[in-house]
Amino acid sequence: MSATALRRELLRVVESQLQRDDPPEVRATLERLVRDGWSQREAKRLISLALGHETYEIVGLQRAFDAGKYARALRALPRLPRAAL
């Protein structure tokens, strides 16, 4: 999968999370980032980077999805996880 396709897929997943409001931290993060001056597009991109980092660790470390870790990464935005830089 190309980097462009991967970015597009992560954004699609973020959109789906927002539509389902699951996990609710995604919507809360989007609203917080927009309040802080980020555009919706930029905020969704930041969220997708946090999701990408979690996905990378699931695949790379062969571990289960960690909802708590994902929520902490969302709360830390716009600061990105180290591996996402």
Q: What percent of the chain has pLDDT over 70?
A: 95
Report pLDDT digits (tens) over 14-43.
999 999 999 999 999 999 999 999 999 999
Amino acid (one-letter) located at 40 = Q
Please give the Cα distance from 18 to 85 (Å, whole number): 24
pLDDT of residue 74: 97
CA max distance for the chain: 36
All structural domains of the chain with their residue ranges: 3-84
Rounded Cα gap, residues 54 and 81, in angstroms = 9
pTM of the model: 0.90
Distance CA 44, CA 18 (A): 10
Nearest to 50 by CA among 28, 21, 78: 78
